[in-house]
Amino acid sequence: MTHAREMLDTYPGTTAMDASALVECIEACFDCAQSCSACADACLGEEEVSHLRRCITMCLNCSDVCATTGRIISRQTDFEPAMAKAALQACAEACRLCGEECEHHAREMNMEHCRVCAEACRRCEEACNRALAAVGG
């Protein structure tokens, strides 16, 4: 479905960390960037939008951080571990905050888009933490 693995396998050099952890994290970041943009939009489309303000803000923030982190770890030329760590830490935090908020609405208000988005956030948070371990963070 995505070309992330093939792009990494054809990189003309050695990659900065374990390729599987890297691909998993890149794909999770781009997927979570999409899910969070879509969840902010779905919340905005709900009748109860005034109860979903925090969820919308968390989703917008998380989408931006994931998109940026997905790009940073896609870059292998002169890969800088300090930069990767800072981005991955911010991303894991954004996913944790957004995932908790979405999880809450999935449970309490039965919001299915929040359930799906919480899943994307959790997967991305875990992938960021694994990538942090791989990069020595």
Binding site for its own copies (CB under 8 A): 1-4, 6-8, 10-13, 26-27, 30-31, 33-35, 37-42, 44-47, 49-50, 53-54, 56-58, 60-61, 63-65, 67-68, 70-72, 74-80, 82-83, 86-87, 89-90, 93-94, 97, 112-113, 115-117, 119-120
Q: To the nearest whole angstrom, how small is the minimum distance from the Cβ of residue 107 to its own copies?
A: 15
Q: To the nearest whole angstrom, how small is the minimum distance from the Cβ of residue 126 to its own copies?
A: 15
Length of the chain: 137
Smaller CB separation from its own copies, 35 or 134: 35
Smaller CB separation from its own copies, 32 or 134: 32
| Burial (CB count within 10 angstroms: exposed 0-12, middle 13-18, buried 19+), residue 102 | buried
Structure tokens at 29: 């970041």
**Hey, what amino acid is at 125?**
E
Do residues 128 and 25 touch, judged by C-beta distance below 8 A?
A: yes
Q: To the nearest whole angstrom, how small is the minimum distance from the Cβ of residue 23 to its own copies?
A: 10
Q: To the nearest whole angstrom, how small is the minimum distance from the Cβ of residue 101 to its own copies?
A: 9
Rounded Cα distance between 109 and 87, Å, is 32
Number of H helices, E strands in the chain: 5, 0
DSSP conformational letter for 51: G
